[in-house]
């Protein structure tokens, strides 16, 4: 977790499937061979859950007693001031919760799981889905409020829990998974995010393919391998690395591709630079146009350009104009000291949410001057942005769930 006060995680001890409402709770023998425990949680007389908050406690009351449509209640906080609908589950969402959801939905921790609850994008203690192809988490408060009182503790006492988006059953208590929620999530993001960059629809597990990468100037094979996107000894062609693209033309990229991710960076400070800093911006933009899929293609295509604090102010403006999005500053802060920082332009979800508090240009200038004097040269920018690639697990196959926190 990157921020202080971040939620803690809980793994469970047996598989939980939360099903359609029944008047009773069914528990199967956990020792039965090849038969996971199944708990069907819910009742036609759902009582109000223990109060996780003065407003959320009213969700069950408003729906069950007052017969209020759950789409008219924010399922994240209980507010009746609904701004839009939750993209993943049936229910409303107020404006503050919508903003929090957009900011946090694609944030991941070093362990490869999402940082916050998939319902409210908050929560102090999180239950993680044990489906090896799922990275989602749910907070105790949401589970107890929307599924049933005490459900979180039952889940906490089990293992191999299958979450509400992976279950074959669409309803768990008041929690109803939306039909075609992947399309709904894309439509929600495109409508509410106020971003110039369109979000791609996430890909079901059975349709995910290994990622194909074009890495320009800096080589990110080590980082992507540590995240499980590339296997050690991957076949040639999964990642194409080029140090110099001066003579590369569209025909070359067409022959090497197609690609799913195009990455480029300026050299790390202290490294020999064969070209002026602005050259890397122009060449990355040129090759990016060759690598993009045809207009209107539904194929997810992502890109990232990283400046290791070598671009001039004029170069930064050019990069922003060419790449059609503002950069963020991602920092390595230890204590109160900024040890490292990079500027990042990207269309990968949540990159803008990962940047640390803004650092003044004067501080970045002094940091760059200090790093130029460092011997040996500072680490390359790919190390600092490594975890920004984790949201790509929603789109591409990955080969390992054991992530390394350091390289």
What is d(CA 323, CA 73) in angstroms, rounded to the nearest whole number? 39
Q: Reply yes or no on whether the pLDDT at 5 is more than 90.
A: no
Looking at the structure, do residues 178 and 262 belong to the same domain, yes or no? no
Q: Residue 143 half-sphere exposure, CB side, CA atoms within 13 Å?
A: 27
Confirm whether 26 is domain-assigned.
no
Confirm whether 101 is domain-assigned.
yes
Looking at the structure, do residues 69 and 103 belong to the same domain, yes or no? yes
Indicate which CATH number applies to the domain containing 359: 3.40.50.150
Q: What is the mean pLDDT of residues 58-83?
A: 88
Report pTM: 0.74
What is each CA distance from 374 to 25, 257, 268, in whole angstroms? 64, 38, 11
Looking at the structure, do residues 303 and 181 belong to the same domain, yes or no? no
Which of the listed residues 135, 163, 192 is the one where a domain comes to its end? 192
Confirm whether 5 is domain-assigned.
no
Q: pLDDT digits over 334-370, tens only?
A: 555 556 778 899 998 877 765 544 455 555 555 555 5
Looking at the structure, do residues 210 and 188 belong to the same domain, yes or no? no
Confirm whether 158 is domain-assigned.
yes
Confirm whether 47 is domain-assigned.
no
What is each CA distance from 330 to 13, 101, 340, in whole angstroms? 37, 21, 8
Looking at the structure, do residues 182 and 231 belong to the same domain, yes or no? no
Looking at the structure, do residues 184 and 275 belong to the same domain, yes or no? no
Looking at the structure, do residues 249 and 389 belong to the same domain, yes or no? yes
Q: pLDDT digits over 75-113, tens only?
A: 998 888 999 999 999 999 999 999 999 888 888 887 778
Question: What mean pLDDT is reported for the chain?
Answer: 77
Looking at the structure, do residues 368 and 264 belong to the same domain, yes or no? yes
Q: Where are the alpha helices (DSSP H) in 193-297?
A: 221-226, 250-256, 277-291
- Phi, psi (rounded to 5 degrees) for 181: -65, -25
Name the domain count of the chain. Answer: 2
The percent of residues above 70 in pLDDT, for the chain, comes to 72
| Full domain range(s) for residue 91 | 57-192
What is each CA distance from 277 to 244, 262, 314, in whole angstroms? 13, 19, 11
What is d(CA 309, CA 277) in angstroms, rounded to the nearest whole number? 10
Confirm whether 144 is domain-assigned.
yes
Looking at the structure, do residues 176 and 222 belong to the same domain, yes or no? no
Which of the listed residues 161, 192, 223 is the one where a domain comes to its end? 192
Contact criterion met (CB below 8 Å) for 74 and 91? yes
Which of the listed residues 133, 165, 192 is the one where a domain comes to its end? 192
Terminal CA-to-CA distance of the chain, rounded, Å? 17
Q: pLDDT digits over 379-396, tens only?
A: 555 667 888 888 898 899
What is the pLDDT at residue 34?
A: 39
Looking at the structure, do residues 138 and 106 belong to the same domain, yes or no? yes
Confirm whether 406 is domain-assigned.
no
Looking at the structure, do residues 209 and 329 belong to the same domain, yes or no? yes
Confirm whether 11 is domain-assigned.
no
């Amino acid at each position: 977790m990157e921020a202080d006060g971040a939620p803690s995680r809980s793994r469970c001890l047996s598989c939980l499937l939360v099903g359609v409402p029944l008047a009773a709770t069914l528990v199967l023998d956990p020792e039965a061979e090849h038969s996971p425990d199944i708990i069907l949680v819910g009742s036609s007389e759902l009582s109000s859950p223990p109060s996780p908050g003065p407003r959320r406690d009213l969700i069950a009351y408003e729906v069950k007693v007052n017969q209020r449509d759950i789409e008219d209640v924010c399922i994240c906080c209980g507010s009746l001031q609904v701004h839009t609908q939750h993209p993943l589950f049936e229910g409303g969402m107020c404006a503050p919760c919508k903003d929090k959801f957009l900011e946090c939905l694609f944030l991941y921790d070093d362990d490869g799981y999402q940082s916050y609850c998939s319902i409210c994008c908050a929560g102090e203690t999180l239950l993680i889905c044990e489906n090896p192809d799922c990275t989602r988490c749910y907070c105790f408060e949401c589970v107890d409020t929307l599924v049933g009182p005490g459900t979180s503790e039952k889940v906490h006492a089990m293992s191999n829990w299958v979450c509400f988006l992976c279950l074959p059953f669409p309803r768990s208590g008041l929690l109803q998974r939306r039909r075609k929620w992947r399309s709904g999530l894309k439509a929600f993001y495109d409508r509410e995010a106020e971003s110039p960059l369109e979000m791609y629809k996430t890909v079901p597990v059975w349709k995910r393919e290994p990622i194909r990468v074009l890495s320009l100037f800096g080589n990110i094979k080590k980082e992507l391998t540590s995240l499980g996107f590339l296997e050690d000894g991957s076949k040639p062609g999964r990642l194409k690395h080029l140090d110099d693209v001066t003579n590369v033309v569209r025909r070359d990229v067409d022959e090497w591709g197609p690609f799913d991710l195009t990455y480029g960076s300026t050299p790390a400070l202290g490294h020999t630079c064969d070209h002026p800093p602005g050259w890397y911006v122009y060449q990355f933009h040129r090759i990016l146009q060759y690598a993009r899929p045809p207009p209107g293609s539904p194929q997810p295509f992502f890109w990232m350009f990283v400046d290791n604090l070598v671009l001039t102010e004029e170069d930064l403006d050019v990069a922003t104009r060419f790449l059609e999005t503002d950069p963020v500053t991602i920092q390595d802060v230890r204590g109160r000291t900024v040890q490292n920082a990079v500027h990042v332009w990207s269309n990968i979800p949540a990159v803008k949410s990962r940047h640390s508090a803004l650092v003044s240009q004067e501080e970045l200038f002094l940091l760059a001057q200090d790093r130029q004097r460092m011997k040996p040269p500072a680490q390359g920018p790919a190390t600092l942005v490594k975890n920004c690639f984790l949201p790509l697990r929603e789109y591409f196959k990955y080969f390992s769930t054991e992530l390394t926190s350091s390289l």
